[in-house]
Structure 1
């Protein structure tokens, strides 16, 4: 009798494990299909839902790379553009070109966000006070000049990264968002980074600044949603730009045009478990999903890979710096 009971228990346990295994398999199949749908098929919110043709887009870091591309693509969609960046001559040139190509209005403010001057943020607030701002792109950003350990990071570089990546994004948003609340519509796009999702040794301050923006963006999205304002952290891996110092495109490294086209087409499209974080470019989305979901890619493993990669980048950068010094 005892043997019969024991056998039945074993059968029951096997049945339970089979059901559990089936449920687990279905869960992962669903996760995988949901990711495929988000990365390759699902379209984002219409830009027109944030403001009519002739409303304004405010873009920081607008003189180069991704920010410049946002300016061109939004102007092509009929948005007037307020360009904010450090170099006045570049802003003037871009503004004239946008007006000639797309018949839109442009204005610009030459601001060095590293300085964190109150008068600069007052200028921004005054400039947007009479504008129907539909889209704010908090693109301005700074990384380390080369990978470096935290204890070797120069104070100026550390403070510049915090002032540009964090403080500027917060203060510009405080200047622009009240008008969006009054109009009950708008979109705020904050530039993120994979370095903010996966701790990155030798880029400690930059990595932490982007992690801060991820948490802040999700929080802001919740606070502003009742007012009709959409907020995304736009997450990226490498993009060819002056900041990344990468010139050649690849499957994992698009140029700014391809990245921004994906970003504007995927507003509000999120991978599983990442509400509020849009990873729009397809290969970046695949990497993001893999980092979050594939067994064996634990934090320690990812941090180790990141550390090894940036140690190698630092060695090459130091050798280049040494060669350049000998040429002078």
Structure 2
């Protein structure tokens, strides 16, 4: 019996050390896949949803700089046109940028059919499923339309756009799909209950789909993301994970300064594109094809899964959101 206990203990310690070394190596040392594997500088396209601001806009700018043509997908024509113009200025016309207007909250098949038709004619090397909507309220306070919008945008949009783009990737035997997820998908988060559930769906969908298409040389990854500083265009439908901390009374963003744990959108996207194919903070945590790329997020992810006390973190994140909403309401009271 003592020998068995010793073996189990040795295995547990060895696994802990291996996980620690793997997380540190992937986060701080090892490089990710080269984007040329997916058609960078070869005329391939990157399709980005929620591309009008925040993380989506940064993906557009940085993938264009890497040599991809860009298809910007969102509902805000003015903002998308501005992003396309910025890409043209920054890349000296070496790549092309187009816009495609889709409001994913609306159950209108025409824009989605138009998007499907457009992408079928493009050599799509990268798809970034970034569009999303967040809320910060208790479930009982959330109006029914808000619930429907969050599910339609966070789940429906990902499924529909992926279904439109994937056949071409399979035919070309090449592709990269990045699904912008959230820590709220790993730890059930009060006051973000609907959003949290949709991001949990994204984790499962990513792992299942990644296995389905692996033999076609297509990589699918769920981007596990904590707070990120973003600048939004009205009406602040967020594509920055856990960024729009709002009460029923406000639509103002809640975090405006970067820190060790809160990178700018540009820094965050750079970390993603430099770690493609790795897991970083999600290594050996029973989440296949999940990537926690930014180093501060990676270390927090590592700590959460080493401790493994999910109930504690559910309460911890609940307190964070309570304090954030209280602070926001206090600011509003002072402004009034």
TM-score norm. by structure 1 comes to: 0.90
**Aligned partner of 1:100 among 89, 99, 108:** 89
Task: Say whether residues 1:255 and 2:268 are aligned partners.
Answer: no
Report if the CA contact (8 A) 2:220-2:289 is conserved: yes
1:202 CA drift (Å): 0.8
Q: In 2, are the aligned partners of 1:139 and 1:191 still within 8 Å (CA)?
A: yes
Q: Tell me if structure 2 keeps the 8 A contact 1:213–1:233.
A: yes
**Aligned residues: CA RMSD:** 1.5
1:83-142 Cα shifts (integer Å, max 9, x gaps) = 011210111121122123212111101221111321111011111121100000011111
Structure 1: runs of 5 or more not aligned: 1-12
> How many Å apart are 1:321 and its aligned residue?
4.2
Task: Report whether the alignment pairs 1:23 with 2:11.
Answer: yes
Aligned partner of residue 48 in structure 1, secondary structure: helix
Q: Corresponding residue for 2:165?
A: 176
Conservation of the 8 A alpha-carbon contact between 1:217 and 1:232: yes
Q: Which residue of structure 1 aligns with residue 304 of structure 2?
A: 291
Partner of 2:119: 128
- Residues 27-66 of structure 1 show CA distances to partners (whole Å, capped at 9, x for unaligned) of 2112211111121112211111112522100001111011
Q: 1:235 aligns with which of 224, 228, 231?
A: 224
CA contact (8 A) 2:228 2:268 kept: yes
Distance 1:308 1:208 in 2: 19
Q: State whether structure 2 residue 318 is matched by structure 1 residue 307.
A: yes
Alignment of 1:22-101 (within 5 A): 22-53=10-41, 54-101=43-90
Unmatched 5+ stretches in structure 2: 233-237, 244-252
- Cα distance, 1:311 vs structure 2: 1.7
**Alignment-derived partner of residue 113 in structure 1:** 104
Decide whether aligned partners of structure 1 residues 124 and 30 sit closer, same or farther in structure 2, where only a CA change above 3 A counts.
same
Q: Name the one with the larger helix percent.
A: 1
The answer to whether 1:137 aligns with 2:150 is: no
- Give the distance between the partners of 1:134 and 1:20, measured in 2 at CA: 45
Which residue among 292, 307, 332 is the counterpart of 1:279?
Answer: 292
Contact 2:102 2:112 in 1 (8 A): no
| Structure 2 Cα separation of the partners of residues 19 and 228 of structure 1 | 39
Which residue of 2 is the match for residue 318 of structure 1?
329
Distance 2:185 2:333 in 1: 30
The structural deviation recorded for 1:15 is 5.2
Aligned length: 309
> Hey, what's the Cα distance between the residues in 2 that align with 1:31 and 1:272?
6
- Displacement of 1:283 in angstroms is 0.8
Number of the residue aligned with 2:235: none
Contact 1:201 1:307 in 2 (8 A): yes
Cα distance, 1:25 vs structure 2: 2.1
**1:249 partner SS:** coil
1:125-170 deviations in Å (ceiling 9; x for gaps): 11112110000001111101xx211111111111111111110011
